[in-house]
Structure 1
Amino acid sequence: MDTRRLILVMIFAFSSFMLWENWQEYNRPKPVAEVATNTPQAVADGSTPTPSVSLQAAGSAIAAVTETPVATAETFSVETDLMKVTISTQGGDLVGLELLNYKESDDKDHNFVLFDAKHQYFAQSGLIGDGLPTHRSLFRRVDGPLQLQDGSDELKVRLEANGPEGVRIARILTFKRSSYVVDVAWEIVNGSDKPLAPHAYFQVQRDDGEPAGGNFMMHTFTGPAVYTEAEKYQKISFKDVADKSAKFVKTADNGWLAMVQHYFVAAWVPEQGVQREYYMRKLDNSKLYQMGVIVPVAEVGPGTSAVSSVSLFAGPQEQAALKALAPGLDLVVDYGWLTVIAAPIFWALQFIHGLVGNWGWAIVVLTIAIKLAFFPLSAASYKSMAKMRLVTPRLVQLKERYGDDKARLNQEMMKLYQTEKINPLGGCLPILIQIPVFIALYWVLLGAVEMRDAPWILWITDLAAPDPWYILPVIMVVSMFIQIKLNPTPPDPIQAKVMMAMPFVFGIMFFFFPAGLVLYWVVNNILSIAQQWQITRMMEAGGKAANDAKA
């Protein structure tokens, strides 16, 4: 019974690790969010980032920030076909972002909000240079439309601010139809008699609180991430940022920086080939963090002008859109070390969805396809278990006869295995080979934003949320009981009780899992039961025929 013990140890060790890790994360003390006011931008830090020497033009100076009275700042809203954005005249910050095609996980009557005052989650930008406006400066909105018009592919919002004498500054936000990308541009017109060599910074501000609707059974990463060709995708924890131990590429001429959370992302994407510097910091005496990118602006001579623009993606982690915007941006949908397996699985899931038009049925079809691909391995495993089932009575007899002599018992058991041509690991190894694929599919279904608000049938209206009536988890528990009954009964009474308790242990976990994940396991179990029942029936029929022939 060493094989069965090995399987039990692996299952319970893995389950205990997941439960402990997620329980610890769920109970980790969260910082108290700053109290929101009618002007959420008021809590923004007043300091500006400082570029490194490698990015500074000779003789350029970093000016102190002139505080703007918060009471004079106003907000206004811009609406496209995909989102409604709230903009503050203080800094031109994006202080609210409502996604019109996504609902809140815990309130389906309201649209999902990415940027908000609760987490002080804002997109900010400013200029570095003597007398130039920052994200704390007051801007004036230039009159113009605030809603994307029918027949128009883009909407421009222009804000202007005071600069040094003779210098005109404007911040231009360009919204696009059917896109979550906002182009953020700085326009500098130098009417003075001195050249300007400024830098522009683009940053995201946020606290380290978990997004609403989280599940303590399934912890997902929330925090900053940076990508460069040199070091590829790097996730940085808030803790490492706070204690200044975060290690990431600071300067490059490629890549992007993002704030990642489950299903959604906000990413600053400068043009490739432009030198930039990435930074992350925790604000002093605050619960807030800032992470951003600094890019140089071409020198603006007297009587000339310059424009510096960076794209901001703020929306769902739709892999096709992310991949089209920048290399590696689709990696924010993080499958970890199983990406090499998970990426083709997601591609297959998308392909099947294109054929059947429903993500629930796509999961069912994909599960069947994976089951067919592993049919030979599964069949070998079930044949081994069926043989073990046939010899279980004889194993019980051996244990009763040699129970006090472990060495003799193991010797007789091995002799029985050799006589009946049974490999004790025959039922385990095929399962171990399939585990990476099953785990990869688990992460695909957990991380795919396409599952969010996606209905299947009847009561399942959101594959990313737990089953509201707990029907699928109950079916899951029942299917596990049936599988246990089809397996050989362990001769050890304690081991038998542990096996019977497993459906309840896993059942509790699956009550909290998204319906899409439970659907996959239910379909997989039903297929396994059918295959195992058929193989066991054939093996028992063959054994009975052999015994009759001997008689």
Structure 2
Amino acid sequence: MDLQRNFFILLFIIVSFFLWKEYKKETLIQPEISKEEVNTSNFSNYKDEDFNNISVNTDVLSLKINMRGGDIVEANLNNYKKDLNSKESFGLLHTSPSFLYHAKSGLIGKDGLDNFNSNKRPIYQADQKLFKLKKDKTELRVPIWFLSKKNILYRKIFIFKKGKYDVNIDYDILNLSKKKIEIQLLNELQQNANVLETEKNKYKQNLMLHTFRGTAYSSLQNNFKKYKFEDIISNKQLSVKTNTGWIAMVQQYFSTAWIPKEKNIIDYIYTFKSKKNLVNIAYISKKIYINPNSHKKISSILWIGPEIQDKMRLLAPNLDLTIDYGWFWFISHPLFQLLRYLYRLVGNWGISIMLITLIIKLLMYPLTRVQYKSMIKMRKIQPKIDLIKEKFSNDKRKLSQEIMMLYQKEKINPLGGCLPVLLQMPIFLGLYYMLTSSIELRHAPFLLWIRDLSSYDPYYILPILMGLSMFLTQKTSLNDISDPMQKKAMYFMPFIFVFFFLWFPSGLVLYYISNNLITMIQQKLILNSSLKK
């Protein structure tokens, strides 16, 4: 049964690594506004030095806002490092000749400032070049403004709060003209699709299943939907008519998202591509009218930061689903909640993983006990099975009938030991996705040389220990395998697993080592209990 268990787990892992779920295609809806009007700018020729940027520093964010359009063109996360041993902060939004990732917003329509199609943007003004959140303050307001020739004052106010990754961005438009004006809000995220091409060596082209990187959105029709960069690049564009929702760009551990503050303000969500593999996702608001000598406030929220489940869930419905827990999200999510609770008790994520393994094995112990009792019974009747095989070696049908009759007589279910194996498969993959997608485990140390449980063991010691623990588990197993080929396959299995686990997250390997050690103890207890009877 151990051989069957290992075979099924290995088969499940391999199949899961090479099968990807096909995403349902959205029905395209033709937008009411002309394409020429909404097709956003191409920043492929943008040079950072062409226009002045202002800098904004808070306790968690360091930003640059381009005064041409008032877009956020750079964002560093102060509390997260670029790499494990790096002193440099992780950069999410970025502008360089090789890579661009911007959070853009503007006002389009009849009296809008921004013509994204022709790349005409207003040049805003600000009182200072550097805005910094003081230690004794909880809020920082960064106002910029532009006065149009039509005598309309546009104020764009960025509101940062201490310890927060969500930024309020308010447009306050004062219509000093004598005519009623008409505008629409456009919020957009834009990024190079091919950035990971330059980082292939970072992953060493290993067998790890990489998490989703692309766009996502929420609409009236879909609470949450991912839309791949590949689809946008191949002109499989998305256009969804909706009055509610949000848009996002997601990657492992981090995301950006535009969320409207007003209800029912969105007109539609859409995607498109620009030159040089720039992909875009945006939403446009319904038409907004402002009477003469009056003003209107339009508010949005921009999330720039780590994918922290609790905070994202409070910010917008279903925004926490941007954390890519894959097919087994219904397992990964409760596992993470339990893991986080254990971490609060012991203060070490590695020890928490060992404890969660123990809890899982204890919960599954009744099924494991049934499994091993079935194996003990199978062991006792093995001589009878050998006699039947010898007697009916030339009649396979009769052989199967006689063996099944023996099982019925001895009250043995030959499949009785499979349920624990089947339950272990989704738990294994659920834990995998949790370890590779939860920001809390990024760069989380365990002991000694294991300084990042979300990454592979740099010295490959844990995978080797895992192989040894698997070999010992098989040696102490209750199986009596007489077939020489099966014996060879069983003893060769740990080497195959070591190869696959070389690049698995250390936390996952630690889980499997703990699982094997607890399995050996349970085997011993159940065997001793059965022999006493």
Q: Report whether the alignment pairs 1:111 with 2:79.
A: no
Q: Does 1:83 align with 2:83?
A: no
Distance 1:465 1:379, change over 3 A: same
Residues 63 and 76, structure 2, Cα contact 8 Å, conserved in 1: yes
Decide whether the 8 Å contact of 2:237 with 2:272 is kept in 1.
no
What's 2:74 paired with? 96
Deviation at 1:55, TM superposition (A): 12
- In structure 2, the residue matched to 1:53 is 32
Q: Which moved more, 1:503-512 or 1:404-413?
A: 404-413
What residue in structure 2 maps to residue 238 of structure 1? Answer: 229
Mark the CA change 1:220 to 1:64 in structure 2 (over 3 Å): closer, same or farther: closer
Partner SS state of residue 93, structure 2: coil
Q: What pairs with 1:115-264 in structure 2 (closer than 5 Å)?
A: 115-117=93-95, 118-130=98-110, 132-134=112-114, 136=119, 137-144=121-128, 145-209=130-194, 211=196, 212=199, 216-245=207-236, 249-252=240-243, 254-264=244-254
Name the SS of the counterpart of 1:355 in structure 2: helix
Structure 2 counterparts to residues 262-277 of structure 1, below 5 A:
262-277=252-267
Q: 3-state SS of the aligned residue for 1:198? A: strand
SS of the counterpart of 2:457? coil
> Residue 112 of structure 2 contacts residue 182 of structure 2 at CA under 8 Å; is this kept in 1?
no
The structural deviation recorded for 1:269 is 0.8
Asked if structure 2 preserves the Cα contact closer than 8 Å seen for 1:139 and 1:159, the reply is: no
Residue aligning to 2:25: none
Tell me how far 1:162 sits from its aligned partner.
Answer: 4.9
Give % identity. 35
Matches within 5 A, 1:507-546: 507-540=498-531
SS for the counterpart of 1:185 is strand
CA distance in 1, matches of 2:160, 2:192: 26
Consecutive unaligned residues in structure 2, runs of 5 or more? 23-28
Conserved in 2, the CA contact under 8 Å of 1:55 and 1:277?
no
Q: Over residues 176-209 of structure 1, what are the superposed CA-to-partner deviations in whole Å (9 max), with x where a residue is unaligned?
A: 1100011122222222222111011111001223
- Say if 1:386 and 1:86 are closer, same or farther in 2 by CA, change over 3 A: farther
Give the letter aligned to residue 145 of structure 2: E
User: Greater shift after overlay, 241-250 or 283-292?
Assistant: 241-250
Does the aligned pair in 1 maintain the 2:211–2:324 contact within 8 Å? Answer: no
Counterpart mapping for 1:492-511 below 5 A: 492-511=483-502
What amino acid is aligned across from residue 196 of structure 1 in structure 2? Answer: I
Specify the alignment match of 2:26 in structure 1.
none
Judge conservation of contact 1:55–1:276 (CA < 8 Å) in 2.
no
Q: Secondary structure at the match of 1:53?
A: coil
In 1, distance between residues paired with 2:159 and 2:427? 42
For 1:63 and 1:465, locate their aligned partners in 2 and report how far apart those are by CA, in whole Å.
Answer: 40
Amino acid at match of 1:305: H
Paired residue secondary structure (1:122): strand
* Native 8 Å contact 2:194 2:277 kept in 1: no
Look up the match of 2:277.
Answer: 287
Mean Cα deviation higher: 301-310 or 140-149 = 140-149
What is the deviation of 1:320? 0.7
CA–CA separation in structure 2 for the residues paired with 1:63 and 1:365: 53
Aligned pairs for 1:23-38 within 5 A: none
* TM-score (normalizing by structure 1): 0.83
Q: Is the 8 A contact 2:133 2:139 kept in 1?
A: yes
Query: In structure 2, do the counterparts of structure 1 residues 515 and 433 end up closer, same or farther at CA, with 3 Å as the change threshold?
Result: closer
Seen in structure 2, the aligned counterparts of structure 1 residues 508 and 462 have a Cα distance that, compared at 3 Å, is same
Contact 2:191 2:279 in 1 (8 A): yes
CA deviation string 1:426-476 (max 9, x = no partner)? 111232244434433333233211101212222222111112222221221
Structure 1 residues 540 and 403, CA gap change in structure 2 (3 angstroms)? farther
Instruction: Label 1:491 to 1:412 Cα distance change in 2 as closer, same or farther (>3 A).
Output: farther
TM-score (ref. length: structure 2): 0.86
Q: 1:152 to 1:539 in 2, by over 3 A?
A: same
Query: Residues 487 and 19 from structure 1, CA distance in 2 versus in 1: closer, same or farther, beyond 3 angstroms?
Result: farther
| Contact kept? 1:446, 1:517, Cα under 8 Å | no
Aligned-pair RMSD on alpha carbons? 3.3
Which one is further off, 342-351 or 401-410? 401-410
**Residue 432 (structure 2) pairs with residue 452 (structure 1):** no
Task: Give distance in 2, aligned partners of 1:403 and 1:423.
Answer: 23
Larger CA deviation: 368-377 vs 140-149: 140-149
Segments ≥4 residues shifted beyond 6 Å: 3-6, 61-69
Residues 316-347 of structure 1, C-alpha deviation per residue, up to 9 Å, x if partnerless?
Answer: 11101101111111111233453334332222
* 1:81-120 alpha-carbon deviations (Å, 9 max, x no partner): 0121122222222121111111224653322111123431
Deviations 1:270-295 (A, max 9, x none): 12523203433333443111101212
Distance 1:488 1:64 in 2: 66
What SS does the aligned partner of 1:528 have? helix
Assess if the C-alpha contact under 8 Å between 2:2 and 2:479 holds in 1.
no
Distance 2:211 2:251 in 1: 7
* Residues 175 and 183 in structure 1, CA contact (< 8 A), matched pair in contact too: yes
Q: How far 1:233 moved relative to its partner?
A: 0.9
Of 487-496 and 179-188, deviating more is: 487-496
Residue of structure 2 in register with 1:317 after alignment? 307
Counterpart amino acid of residue 269 in structure 1: I
> For 1:518-549, what per-residue CA distance to the aligned partner results, in whole angstroms no more than 9, with x for missing partners?
2222212211121012223444565xxxxxxx
**Selected match of 1:334 from 303, 324, 340:** 324
Kindly state the Cα deviation for residue 378 of structure 1 after the two structures are TM-superposed: 1.3
Please tell me whether the aligned partners of residues 208 and 504 of structure 2 are also in contact (alpha carbons under 8 angstroms): yes
1:111–1:295: structure 2 CA closer, same or farther, 3 Å change rule? same
CA distance in 2, matches of 1:403, 1:344: 50
Aligned counterpart, 1:464: 454
Is structure 2 residue 418 aligned with structure 1 residue 428?
Answer: yes
Q: 1:296 and 1:170 mapped to 2: Cα distance? A: 20
Change (3 A) 1:296 1:19: closer
Aligned residue pairs total 510
Asked if 2 retains the 8 angstrom alpha-carbon contact of 1:191 and 1:302, the reply is: yes
Q: Which runs of 5+ in 1 are unaligned?
A: 26-49, 543-551
Quick one: structure 1 residues 223 and 419, their matched pair in 2 at CA, closer, same or farther if it must change by over 3 Å? same
CA distance in 1, matches of 2:38, 2:385: 81
Residues of 2 paired with 1:248 and 1:281: CA distance? 7
Q: Is the partner of 1:197 in helix, strand or coil?
A: strand
> Which deviates further from its counterpart, 206-215 or 511-520?
206-215
- Secondary structure of residue in 1 paired with 2:210: coil
3-state secondary structure, aligned to 2:290 = coil
